[in-house]
Structure 1
Amino acid sequence: MSLNVDDLAASINFFTTHLGFHESVAATGFVTLTRPDSADIVLVARGSRMLPGSVREQRPAGVMVYFGISDVVAEYERLRREGVPIAAPLREEPWGERLFQLTDPNGIVIQFVEWVPPAGA
């Protein structure tokens, strides 16, 4: 997954400080972030010449980075203790999805989900 961001340093800091990623590849205008239990995330500075001209100035819109985890309540509490702004508070959907959402400094929505038995099951 590759995302264009206005403030590369802010997103790098957010993903490494709060979400357990580390930089695996970095150069002027981009970074690849890695976490052993997740797909890599590539962040590219918007306007970078490494991007095709047709997408060079685009910002992510309607993009949600999704993490399926085994204890969403513990992750929610940890992030709240760290002072990370919660965009959508912890909730449980009737079909068996327990989730919450964050938004990184560049507006990337990050959703944490744990699948639980549906209500009434």
Structure 2
Amino acid sequence: MSDFDTVIDRYLGVWNEANPVARRAAIDELFAENVRYVDPLAAVEGRAALDAVIGAARQQFAGLVFSSGGPVDAHHDQARFTWHLGRPGGEPLVVGFDVAERDADGRIFQVLGFIDRAPGR
């Protein structure tokens, strides 16, 4: 497992963290202070704003989990990876693709997200 595999596992873990205090602590450890997160549904900057996006997604998709959709492809300080959202052990309802970039301290400073498949899309 590469260093970026671990980072992306932690990233998905943040999205799955139900406890708001634990989630915010994990965000503070993994993401740069001024992290930029952009996907088709959100465009935010900063840890607090990212925490709010993740919290809203957890409410909207209660009972669903994010999981890896395959191997992480990384070089230098950037990685691209596919993720799934669905019921544990079930077929994913949503499939997405993100690109994450790390800063010199190893924290994620930018995530660019795309949705490849979703209901009604």
How high is the TM-score relative to the length of structure 1?
0.29
Greater fraction helix = 2
How high is the TM-score relative to the length of structure 2?
0.29
